A and B are shown apart, each in its own frame.
Chain A
Amino acid sequence: MNQLNEFFRQLLFLPTQASQWSRELDYLHYFVFVTAMLGAWTTLATATVFVFRYRRKTAEQSTPIVDPKPIHEVVFIGLPLVLFLAYFAVGYPQYVRLQTPPKGAMDVYVQGKKWMWKFAFPGGPNSTDVLRVPAGRPVRLLLTSRDVIHSFYVPALRMKQDALPGRYTQIWFNADRPGRYPIFCAEYCGLGHSSMLGELVVMPAEEWDVWMEQQRRGSQPLAQDGQPTAAEEPDLRGSLVDQGRRIAAVQGCFKCHTVDGTQHIGPTWLDLSGRTVKLEGGKTVVADEAYLTRSMMEPNAEIVAGYKDKAVMPTYQGKLSAPDAAAITEFIKSLRTDAPTAEPQKGPIYVPVTGK
């Protein structure tokens, strides 16, 4: 059974199966694949045999009128109908199971925004792009979005759910194989759609408990970002830009800086690199690599005009290694748009109409 599963999984280029649900979904996939292939090739082979058997001999050859008997059409209708309904009979209950979280599942709030995933455990901690869950325990995700529709997709779990702005959708999973699995955004959401990547880290349950304990020990667990465990190796996959994004996420940069042009607590990073920035006091400076690095290490030395009252950024001297700072700089440099209007995008605001 296991070998058969592995054979088909690799034949169909499917990713690892990280949950029981994904395994069962794959069994249905194999069943559909095999029966559909059999049906298709039987039909095509029949057609091919006819083509060779009944070649035209003379240009104006006459052929008999062949009309179907009722039984023919009954078979033509009946066979596929039975097969298709069988697919549905297996597939729909599976779907219902995915949509119905079990009692006692742990809740995680997921917020999509351009272009990152934010996760929050009730009672803390929060995190950006990296979701840590215990293996073997059911987790319910409550998804929402800050701007447009995103879709939370973990191929290893064969699971996908749209995150809608201003409301919640839900889905659940029970990952049983520890490991690190990519999270994609599957609903087109603009410039950074394809870099809206995240990571699902499935930890052995005991390890996760310890980690959670550590995270909540701080004074303000709700405001705190989840940190990687000490034993974990830094993730060095991807380009420098990808790494920069990951480091920025872990360091909590996105709490104040946006990457889509929206103004937030700090200046946006979109189109920042290379721009001439006006500083408090009237001076200007070109936002080159040196300026960006200086701003990380001594954020209050050169305050951008208009941010005097909001100059709350702590220094990252000592928290960021030189390669990390360089990676973040590269990431900022990659954030460009050639949007035809200069006006930054105003995301929808989610305050109710008060009728004033």
Chain B
Amino acid sequence: MHTDAAAAPSRLAHHFPDMKTQEHAARMGMWLFLSTEILLFAVLFTAYALYRFLFPVGFEEASRLAHVAMGATNTVVLITSSLTVALAIHYARLGENRKVVGLLAVTILFGVTFMVLKGVEYHHHWVDGQLPGRMYHFAGLSGPGVSMYFALYFLMTGLHGLHVLIGMGLLSWVAFRAMRGEFGPNYSTPVELSGLYWHLIDLIWIFLFPLLYLL
């Protein structure tokens, strides 16, 4: 494969010498952005580590209230959606836009599934009063660290869920562009970048699932 800037002159910004530099820059920018996302979650992971260290019993008991079956299903859903995105990128590079659209649609469907299951879980916790901090009023379990677990549970899954929503938005936009047949061997950057974002969401969930549901 070689760069063919002339084939897509409109995509080359004036300040870049050629397409390959421009795409390299875009990918590097995305990676740096992902690192800020990781650091954003790092705060919650730190709080989690600290309070788990301080209140091991409270956290263990509280995590028994989490709905493991739904969590596990969501894990499978997200990992599979990562596969579909990876395949979408693969076909975008080959210029097979129809396959890209299909795979992205499946991915978005997985995203919807994830959010629905998450919503069901939230609903159960809400009904039972298993809520963060001062809102916690679940009669079945009390003690030091319990409401802290739910504060972190809601913050971490909430922030993650927000990212899933943003990711679904990004993928819909990319799918729309794929529908117009924009991607090919010379141009697949938007698919790749939004794919990176989706994989990061998966990557964070891989840690959230055992920490919040299983330990």
Partners in one complex: yes
Task: Judge if B143 is at the interface, Cβ distance under 8 Å.
Answer: yes
Task: Judge if A355 is at the interface, Cβ distance under 8 Å.
Answer: yes
Residues of A in contact with B (beta carbons under 8 Å apart): 352-356
Q: How far is the CA of A52 from the CA of B124 in the complex (A)?
A: 79
Q: How far is the CA of A355 from the CA of B148 in the complex (A)?
A: 12
Q: Is the interface of A mostly helix, strand, loop or mixed?
A: loop
- Is B141 within 8 A of A353, CB to CB? no
Task: Judge if B160 is at the interface, Cβ distance under 8 Å.
Answer: no
15 CB-based A-B contacts, threshold 8 Å: A352-B143, A352-B144, A353-B136, A353-B143, A353-B144, A353-B146, A353-B147, A354-B142, A355-B137, A355-B139, A355-B142, A355-B143, A355-B147, A356-B137, A356-B142
Q: Is the interface of B mostly helix, strand, loop or mixed?
A: loop
Residues of B within 8 A of A352 (CB): 143-144
Q: How far is the CA of A129 from the CA of B140 in the complex (A)?
A: 45
- Is A355 within 8 A of B138, CB to CB? yes
Q: How far is the CA of A356 from the CA of B146 in the complex (A)?
A: 13
Residues of B within 8 A of A356 (CB): 137, 139, 142
Q: How far is the CA of A352 from the CA of B144 in the complex (A)?
A: 7
Q: How far is the CA of A354 from the CA of B136 in the complex (A)?
A: 10
CB proximity of A351 to chain B, nearest CB, Å? 12
Q: How far is the CA of A353 from the CA of B147 in the complex (A)?
A: 8
Residues of A within 8 A of B136 (CB): 353, 355
Q: How far is the CA of A105 from the CA of B209 in the complex (A)?
A: 49
CB proximity of B116 to chain A, nearest CB, Å? 29
In this complex, the member of A354, A355, A356 whose beta carbon has the largest number of chain B beta carbons within 10 angstroms is A355
Q: How far is the CA of A355 from the CA of B139 in the complex (A)?
A: 6
Q: How far is the CA of A155 from the CA of B141 in the complex (A)?
A: 48
Residues of B in contact with A (beta carbons under 8 Å apart): 136-144, 146-147
CB proximity of B170 to chain A, nearest CB, Å? 40
CB proximity of B53 to chain A, nearest CB, Å? 16
Residues of B within 8 A of A355 (CB): 136-143, 146-147
Q: How far is the CA of A355 from the CA of B144 in the complex (A)?
A: 10
Task: Please give me the residue from chain B that is nearest to A353 by CB atom.
Answer: B147
CB proximity of B210 to chain A, nearest CB, Å? 26
In this complex, the member of A352, A353, A354, A356 whose beta carbon has the largest number of chain B beta carbons within 10 angstroms is A353
Q: How far is the CA of A352 from the CA of B148 in the complex (A)?
A: 12
Residues of A within 8 A of B138 (CB): 355
Q: How far is the CA of A10 from the CA of B98 in the complex (A)?
A: 83
Residues of A within 8 A of B141 (CB): 355
Q: How far is the CA of A117 from the CA of B139 in the complex (A)?
A: 39
Residues of A within 8 A of B139 (CB): 355-356
Task: Please give me the residue from chain A that is nearest to B148 by CB atom.
Answer: A353
Q: How far is the CA of A245 from the CA of B147 in the complex (A)?
A: 41
CB proximity of B153 to chain A, nearest CB, Å? 15
Task: Please give me the residue from chain B that is nearest to A352 by CB atom.
Answer: B144
Residues of A within 8 A of B146 (CB): 353, 355
10 closest residue pairs by CB, A with B:
A355-B142, A353-B147, A354-B142, A353-B142, A355-B138, A352-B144, A355-B141, A355-B139, A353-B136, A356-B139
Residues of A within 8 A of B143 (CB): 352-353, 355
Q: How far is the CA of A355 from the CA of B128 in the complex (A)?
A: 12
Q: How far is the CA of A356 from the CA of B143 in the complex (A)?
A: 11
Q: How far is the CA of A356 from the CA of B137 in the complex (A)?
A: 5
Residues of A within 8 A of B147 (CB): 353, 355
CB proximity of A348 to chain B, nearest CB, Å? 11
Q: How far is the CA of A353 from the CA of B133 in the complex (A)?
A: 9
Residues of A within 8 A of B142 (CB): 353-356
Q: How far is the CA of A63 from the CA of B33 in the complex (A)?
A: 44
Task: Please give me the residue from chain B that is nearest to A354 by CB atom.
Answer: B142
Residues of A within 8 A of B144 (CB): 352-353
Q: How far is the CA of A235 from the CA of B29 in the complex (A)?
A: 66
Task: Please give me the residue from chain A that is nearest to B58 by CB atom.
Answer: A353
CB proximity of A50 to chain B, nearest CB, Å? 41
CB proximity of B134 to chain A, nearest CB, Å? 9
Q: How far is the CA of A38 from the CA of B140 in the complex (A)?
A: 68
CB proximity of B117 to chain A, nearest CB, Å? 27
Q: How far is the CA of A355 from the CA of B146 in the complex (A)?
A: 9
CB proximity of A307 to chain B, nearest CB, Å? 29
Q: How far is the CA of A354 from the CA of B143 in the complex (A)?
A: 6
Q: How far is the CA of A352 from the CA of B142 in the complex (A)?
A: 9
Q: How far is the CA of A352 from the CA of B137 in the complex (A)?
A: 13
Residues of A within 8 A of B140 (CB): 355
Q: How far is the CA of A355 from the CA of B136 in the complex (A)?
A: 7
6 new A-B pairs (CB below 8 Å) besides A353-B144, A355-B137, A355-B147?
A: A353-B143, A353-B146, A353-B147, A355-B138, A355-B143, A356-B139
Q: How far is the CA of A353 from the CA of B141 in the complex (A)?
A: 10
CB proximity of A269 to chain B, nearest CB, Å? 29
CB proximity of B141 to chain A, nearest CB, Å? 6
Task: Please give me the residue from chain A that is nearest to B147 by CB atom.
Answer: A353
